[in-house]
Amino acid sequence: MKINLFFVLLVVLSCTGRKEMRLQKFLLKGNLSMNEGNTDQAATYFNEALKIDPCFADALNNLGTLRFQQKHWDEALNFYSQAIRCHPDFLNAYFNRANTYYELNEFFNAQQDIQKILAAKPDTAVAYFTQGLIATKMRDFRTSLAAFDKAVLLDSTNVDYRVNRGTINYYLHKFEEAEKDMAIAAHLNAAEPNIYNTLAMIEIERGNHEKAMLFVQKALQLVPDQPYFLNNRGFIFLMQNHLPEALNDIDQSILGDSDNGWAYRNKGIYRLRSGDFKDAIRLLNQALSIDSFIDKIHYYLGMAYLRNNQNKEACEQFKLSEQAGDKMMTIDLMKSCR
């Protein structure tokens, strides 16, 4: 009986070894196809692996990544969740799922997955960076700053960490701190366009439109068709009263990214300055429906309502503008709403 049992164990171990070899073979072939950009072939290999083991977490995770790259967020989420169910400690799948939740605007779920990673590996700089990005989307800038601080502390040479921390300091109106981060980022990689775009936004806030224009032009030299950079240049043109140039940039920005509420805000400001108050109201409300946290959106919408003789609606927006801390209200506007 001992001999028979030994024989059975050898057979089982041999089969297990062959199964593992076949799984790794399909995984390797799938990874090579992914690296070569042959996504259909890669998916075929990963699915072949799943025929052998339906709970092969590496294949499930990689299928999720294929769907993520194709922007099929729901399918990606399903694969990552399956990978985690099969391998509850698979940190790569948690990280990938967090990024997918981020794209789906499910920020609470994204934060939970990042917390899972940080609980297991508290010195993971990229996890803190992702935590900062998620908090930024939630407009929790204090949490964002703390997360980016940790990311920079763990990896002080990463340009993305520096630029994003500088951007949060800009949002918090800590302009000098933001400029320090941008200076270090430029020393690390002077070809990073977001450095100059952020510096442009700082100068816009300071009212230095000519200096802002120099920075945003440098950003656009590096990435000529970037929608956010075009939109910022369009806003500078608006502030300089160069309306045709402003409209061209803003329209190009919307063409490049139709979900950017800031571009609709700027087009609304263009309509406001052009005297088309009804269309200004439409565009500014469209911007507000996309992103309720757009800077000074309530002030400009209030002005559009006021110019369209809708005083009640105007005063409601001015009140919201004051609550948001826009600091755009004049004494006369305040008096008109009493």
Q: What is the pLDDT of residues 35-84, one digit of tens each?
A: 898 999 989 988 988 999 999 899 999 999 999 999 999 999 999 999 99
The predicted structure's pLDDT at residue 258: 94
- On the CB side of 79, CA atoms within 13 Å amount to 24
Structure tokens at 211: 């200096």
The predicted structure's pLDDT at residue 5: 53
The predicted structure's pLDDT at residue 18: 78
Q: What is the identity of the amino acid at 64? A: G
Q: What is the pLDDT of residues 101-159, one digit of tens each?
A: 999 999 999 999 999 999 999 999 999 999 999 999 998 999 999 999 999 999 999 99
Distances (CA, A) of 157 to 136, 151, 152, 194: 21, 10, 8, 16
User: What is the torsion angle, in degrees rounded to the nearest 10, for the CA atoms of residue 229, residue 234, residue 240 and residue 241?
Assistant: 180
Q: What is the DSSP string of 161-209?
A: HHHHHHHHHHHTT-HHHHHHHHHHHHHH-TT-HHHHHHHHHHHHHHT-H
Of residues 299 and 327, more confidently modeled: 299
Q: How confident is the model at residue 319 (pLDDT cuts 50, 70, 90)?
A: very high
Closest CA to 161 of 193, 184, 190: 184
The predicted structure's pLDDT at residue 335: 80
The predicted structure's pLDDT at residue 292: 84
- Is the pLDDT score of 29 beyond 90? no
Residues 6+ apart with CB under 8 A from 303: 272, 314
**pLDDT mean over 235-240:** 97
The predicted structure's pLDDT at residue 16: 54
Q: What are phi and psi of 10, to 5 degrees?
A: -60, -40
Q: What is the pLDDT of residues 253-280, one digit of tens each?
A: 999 999 999 999 999 999 999 999 999 9
Average pLDDT over the chain reads: 92
The predicted structure's pLDDT at residue 235: 97
The predicted structure's pLDDT at residue 316: 94
- Is the pLDDT score of 194 beyond 50? yes
**pLDDT mean over 7-32:** 68
